[in-house]
């Protein structure tokens, strides 16, 4: 009987310890969970707690970056990747940067392979278009997921004016 109580007590302590050691933090509407010594996002991708991405508000001086870390790169849209010196207090740093009046956005980077769901066109001639795989157009379809604001033009050596996709369509829209 005593052995049974000890065993039940040990199981209870282990369950309590494992439940209390699990950390979950919410940042910018996303949840992050600590598993062991690493943090993971909602997609179970490990976060990169050494590089962060920020965007300064318009016309802000770059001196805001001093003391945060080493600037790695900046893209044409103004997003700046910064290597931070250590991951100690990572979420505290992210929170303070997020509240900074001169910083527009703060993003956490992750390691992982992102995949989009497969978008297949409704073109009845799709299987006859051998060049689709050659130019990897499926990657563009997956990334845009059929956004009608994106236009793609392909220059070729000829044009079939009588093709069903050209000319005035059923919606009376001139395709050429």
pLDDT at 13: 57
Cα(5)–Cα(126) distance, rounded to whole angstroms? 68
Alpha-helical (H) ranges within the chain are: 2-21, 90-99, 131-134, 137-144
11, part of any domain = no
153, part of any domain = yes
Which of 56, 90, 111 is where one domain is finished? 111
Is 174 found in the same domain as 119? yes
Q: Which residues have CB under 8 Å from 57's CB, separation 6+?
A: 101, 102, 103, 104
pLDDT at 176: 65
Is 107 found in the same domain as 37? yes
Is 120 found in the same domain as 138? yes
Buried b (16+ CB within 10 A) or exposed e, 6-21: eeeeeeeeeeeeeeee
pLDDT at 61: 73
Q: What is the DSSP string of 37-75?
A: TEEE-TTSPEEEEEEEEEEEPTT--GGGGTTT-EEEEE-
pLDDT at 2: 63
Q: Calculate the alpha carbon distances from 173 to 37, 52, 165, 166 in Å.
A: 58, 46, 11, 10
4, part of any domain = no
Number of domains in the chain: 2
pTM (predicted TM-score): 0.54
Which of 111, 126, 154 is where one domain is finished? 111
Is 85 found in the same domain as 34? yes
Is 174 found in the same domain as 95? no
Residue written as tokens 């770059």?
A: 62
pLDDT at 33: 92
User: Which parts of the chain have pLDDT scores under 50?
Assistant: 17, 19-20
Query: Is 167 in contact with 161 (CB distance < 8 Å)?
Result: yes
Range of the domain at 80: 22-111
7, part of any domain = no
């Amino acid at each position: 009987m005593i052995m049974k109580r000890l065993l039940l007590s040990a199981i209870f302590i282990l369950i309590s310890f494992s439940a209390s050691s699990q950390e979950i933090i919410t940042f910018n509407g996303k949840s992050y969970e600590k598993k062991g010594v690493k943090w993971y996002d909602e997609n179970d991708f490990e976060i990169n707690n050494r590089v962060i991405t920020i965007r300064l508000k318009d016309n802000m001086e770059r001196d805001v970056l001093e003391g945060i870390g080493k600037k790695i790169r900046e893209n044409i849209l103004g997003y700046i990747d910064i290597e931070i010196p250590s991951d100690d207090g990572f979420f505290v740093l992210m929170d303070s940067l997020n509240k900074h009046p001169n910083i527009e956005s703060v993003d956490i980077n992750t390691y992982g392979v992102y995949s989009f769901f497969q978008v297949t066109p409704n073109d009845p001639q799709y299987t006859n278009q051998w060049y689709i795989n050659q130019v990897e157009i499926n990657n563009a379809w997956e990334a845009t997921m059929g956004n009608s604001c994106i236009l793609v033009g392909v220059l070729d050596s000829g044009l079939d004016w009588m093709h069903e996709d050209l000319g005035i369509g059923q919606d009376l829209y001139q395709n050429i």
